[in-house]
Structure 1
Amino acid sequence: MTISFKSLGLSDSRVQQLESMGFEQPTEIQQKAIPELLANRDVVGQSQTGTGKTAAFSLPILEKIDPKASAVQALILTPTRELAQQVSSAIADFGNKHLQVLTVCGGQSIERQIRTLQRGVPLVVGTPGRVIDLLDRKKLDLSQVEWVVLDEADEMLSMGFIDDVKKILKQTPDQRTTACFSATMPREIRDLVDNFLKSPITLSVKQSNAAPSRIEQRVYMLPRNWSKIKALQPILEMEELEAGIIFVRTKRSAAEITNKLQANGHNVDEYHGDLNQNQRERLVQRFRDGQIQLVVATDIAARGLDVQDLSHVINYDLPDNAETYIHRIGRTGRAGKTGVALSLIQPADRHLLRRIERRLGERIDPSKIPSRADVEGKRIEKLKEQVQNTLTGERMASFLSLVNELSSEYDPQAIAAAALQMVYDESSPPWLHQDWDVPPADFSKPIKRKKNRRPNKSKTSNSSSRSSRKDVKKSVISHKSQ
């Protein structure tokens, strides 16, 4: 028997919204968690990122809260600001235009967040450091909270925020529904569950399989101060790319990258939650028909992109969890075919790469970003093929008279070279003429494998500066608005 979102107890309007986003069948963690949370039971879910846990906890909350109420009714804690932004974006997609979701984390104006809280907002997603800061300033009131979610609790533990989580939980009502999702269950998380959850239902899902061997995985280490788009352009020039997805963290990034790639002549479009159903269907059909070569999308939006025969998956932004990485690259190399998975790695992303390598049980050797000579050699080789094909074409005869006329004054070889140069220059993207050659020294340095250090928990002169340092630390530890 096939389990549907409707059979889990969700409303018709919610089910219709999910179907419009391409969600047809719930994942295992969604099947287990949604009915329990709708019944207001506390839940402990042992589940990796990429298994659909965001929908597992957010859909029941959306069914229960009053979107018009001004008091905070639901609080979702995440270890990093990037994950907080991802969760907020997903909830906005799952919800409706009348629901306001506030993301509270570092890297954003706290004054703006305070003004939003003063106007009233029913749902808050945030990092422990910023939530504590707002609580200390008496700007965040959790006295009417009915739902609390701890997302990736073990990551919050490893980053040193477990005491902050406990402090936050103590300021919420006892009569609340609490969900704790964690990939692993160390003793400290078990203790937290025992102290703050009421007779929770424990759920677990099977771990995804490792990445298939038929997928070629490559990582590109970016020199310091290099933007990812600067590295991506020569990489794309060298790839025999048929169809691919470029994964980013946020909708804003998807729009920016799409615009830049389109300006450089790439056949690319963006796919995100702001598109209506008709727009989504048309884009997917164009992608399947080969009218679009590349689609830039977030993980949430890409769920609606069920396209076969992808030759490439590109991790423009690495995911926070190895399971999501495996899920992403598993979109290529299907049905016995081979595929290519490329990842762009900035210095702050290296700990994420180490996490992925540990999960895969292997190291992914870094590849060198193509040089100007590499790209120009590839383009000239393509131009040679085009000339060879044209020499057998029927229209060539119409240009021979022009060559004969010019031959009275110029050498025929010079005429041919000038024509090729014109074609090459006109087809060259603007970035090819800019200074972008790769510093070779960056690729000779091995990746240092150091253990993650816990954030400095020393006292500071005020809570604002303490929160600021935490958020800087977290941004280093986990480098998607959109």
Structure 2
Amino acid sequence: MTLSFKSLGLSEACVAHLDHLDFKTPTPIQAQAIPHLLSGRDVVGRAQTGTGKTAAFALPMLEQIDVGDRSLQALVLTPTRELALQVYQAIQLFNTDRRLQILTVYGGQSVERQVSRLRKGVQMVVGTPGRVLDLLGRGDLKLDKLNWLVLDEADEMLNMGFIKDVETILNQAPAERQTAFFSATMDPVIRELSAKFLRSPVTVTIDQPKAAPNRINQVAYLIPKGWTKARALQPILELEDPESALIFVRTRRAAAELTRQLQAAGHSVDEYHGDLSQSQRERLLLRFRQRQVRWVVATDIAARGLHVEDLTHVINYDLPDSLESYVHRIGRTGRAGKEGIAISLVHPLDKRKLRDIERHIRQKLEWGTIPTRAEIEARYIDKLKSRVQEALTGERMASFLPIVSQLSEEFEPRMIAAAALQMAYDQTRPSWMRVEPEATDDDRRPSRPSGGGSRTPQTKSRRPKINRVSEPSSPSRS
């Protein structure tokens, strides 16, 4: 029997609204958590990013908040401002009552504006621990009528050093409240926190057959001896040509330098890290979602909560230190039943870390080989052919026929077509491909490591001469 939102105990109005939003079937975490939360139980939910945790706690809260009372009744704590905004937007999407007032509070935004909204009355607050503590200390945020408290991404709260702040907030909340913790992992510290602050909680664990979904094509590229990561990345990006991509690096300095180098090579890319102001982050996020910038180079901490629909690629320029972080990263693509591509650049010294990742996700990564100049040019020619086929059925073609007629008096039509294609091709291919390479015997493609399939066949094609992108330096973590 297929589960439905109606069978979970949600109201008819809520189910109708979800159906209008095209939410037909609950995810496993929603199916297990919603009935317990509707019944008043405390819940500890463990599930990976992208499994629908926000709806799992938001829908029961929305069902039970008294919109006639302007007191604060629900508080959701998130580790980052980006995730706070994401949760806020999701709750607004699920909400059907205009009387419900929801406020996001986080650092980098005017505290006076937040205080003004609180004084007018809000029933729900979504915020980061630091700003929530600040507002509590000022006496502007009052928890005396709080009925719901949700800790979202509890493991990231721990990783970012917020657990003490969270504990302080929990101590100030009324004892008679309903509490839910949601986390991708369950560290002993999180277990201790739940045992201390939750009342006989129900534990909901969603174990997926594999830690990484099958719809994500995971490919690893071994960096050839003597090459930098940036040199290896360039031809991969040229061949893949991602519509939208998150490129993960370890440090904010590496993010800034790699972004600058990719921009110099003519790519639509920007950086996202902890040195950016809140307004800079919000502008970049808007541009990324509107496809005004195609790729974003980001650090893990800054990108927490940065989710973009239809993200086609995740690229691990630097492999993460945490196995869970790898799953979090690649889980940003391949959502909503769509396929995604996760690419990892692997230094020879990182092979052991890659084996640990494969054991953790219970999958073998496919080994790719660095694309040759010939392979990249073939890809561009294929794309050009597709564009020509589209143009042949377009309305604008007729306006160019007189030019063809004039040229036909001196040249054969197929020569005219070939010349036009050459001009179009020269305009669209990367600048580094417009310079003839210096072929040397030492400039051959490296052999892939033994084991695993190959994304492209082994050939003796010579390596393209690329406008070199220097290796970003590594100090100062974000």
TM-score range, shorter chain: 0.5 to 0.7
Match of 2:443 in 1: none
Give the drift of 1:100.
2.4
Distance 1:90 1:231 in 2: 37
Asked if residue 7 in structure 1 is aligned to residue 12 in structure 2, the reply is no
* CA-to-aligned-CA distance 1:363-420 (integer Å, 9 cap, x gap): 899999999x9988865675589899999xxx9998776336457xxx9999888745
- Decide whether the 8 Å contact of 1:79 with 1:156 is kept in 2: yes
Give the drift of 1:109.
2.0
Asked if residue 203 in structure 1 is aligned to residue 235 in structure 2, the reply is no
Change (3 A) 1:22 1:331: closer
- Decide whether the 8 Å contact of 2:130 with 2:165 is kept in 1: yes
Change (3 A) 1:344 1:35: same
Match of 1:274 in 2: none
Asked if residue 212 in structure 1 is aligned to residue 214 in structure 2, the reply is yes
Distance 1:250 1:357 in 2: 35
Match of 1:283 in 2: none
Distance 1:167 1:388 in 2: 64
Change (3 A) 1:59 1:414: closer
Match of 1:29 in 2: 29
Specify the code of the residue in structure 2 equivalent to 1:202.
T
Change (3 A) 1:332 1:439: farther
- Decide whether the 8 Å contact of 1:220 with 1:343 is kept in 2: no
Change (3 A) 1:118 1:356: farther
Equivalent positions of 1:48-67 (< 5 A) are 48-67=48-67
- Decide whether the 8 Å contact of 1:68 with 1:122 is kept in 2: no
Show structure 2 runs of 5+ residues with no match: 221-245, 250-254, 270-280, 295-305, 346-352, 393-397, 433-465
Distance 2:261 2:42 in 1: 42
Match of 2:256 in 1: 224
Distance 2:32 2:8 in 1: 9
Show structure 1 runs of 5+ residues with no match: 237-248, 263-297, 303-311, 334-338, 346-352, 453-475, 477-482
- Decide whether the 8 Å contact of 2:265 with 2:431 is kept in 1: no
Equivalent positions of 1:369-448 (< 5 A) are 379=380, 402-403=406-407, 405-406=409-410, 419-420=420-421, 423=424, 428=428, 440-442=469-471
Asked if residue 128 in structure 1 is aligned to residue 129 in structure 2, the reply is yes
Asked if residue 313 in structure 1 is aligned to residue 312 in structure 2, the reply is yes
> SS at 1:442's partner residue?
coil
Give the drift of 1:232.
11
Match of 2:71 in 1: 71
* CA-to-aligned-CA distance 1:442-481 (integer Å, 9 cap, x gap): 36x6x78x9x8xxxxxxxxxxxxxxxxxxxxxxx4xxxxx
Distance 1:232 1:99 in 2: 49
Distance 2:186 2:217 in 1: 31
Change (3 A) 1:195 1:340: closer
Distance 2:71 2:431 in 1: 50
* CA-to-aligned-CA distance 1:320-346 (integer Å, 9 cap, x gap): 78257347336678xxxxx6515799x
Match of 2:44 in 1: 44
Aligned length: 370
Change (3 A) 1:359 1:104: farther
Report 1 or 2 for greater relative contact order, CA contacts < 8 Å, sequence distance ≥ 6.
1
* TM-score, normalised via structure 2 length: 0.61
> SS at 2:142's partner residue?
coil
Give the drift of 1:146.
0.7
Give the drift of 1:188.
2.3
Match of 1:87 in 2: 87
- Decide whether the 8 Å contact of 2:104 with 2:125 is kept in 1: yes
Change (3 A) 1:92 1:422: same
Match of 2:236 in 1: none
Specify the code of the residue in structure 2 equivalent to 1:3.
L
Specify the code of the residue in structure 2 equivalent to 1:402.
Q
- Decide whether the 8 Å contact of 2:102 with 2:123 is kept in 1: yes
Give the drift of 1:185.
2.9
Distance 2:308 2:408 in 1: 60
* CA-to-aligned-CA distance 1:149-202 (integer Å, 9 cap, x gap): 111222212322221111111111111111122233333222222221222222
Distance 1:182 1:404 in 2: 68
Specify the code of the residue in structure 2 equivalent to 1:191.
E
> SS at 1:224's partner residue?
helix
Match of 2:237 in 1: none
Specify the code of the residue in structure 2 equivalent to 1:16.
A
* TM-score, normalised via structure 1 length: 0.60
Equivalent positions of 1:357-376 (< 5 A) are 359-360=360-361
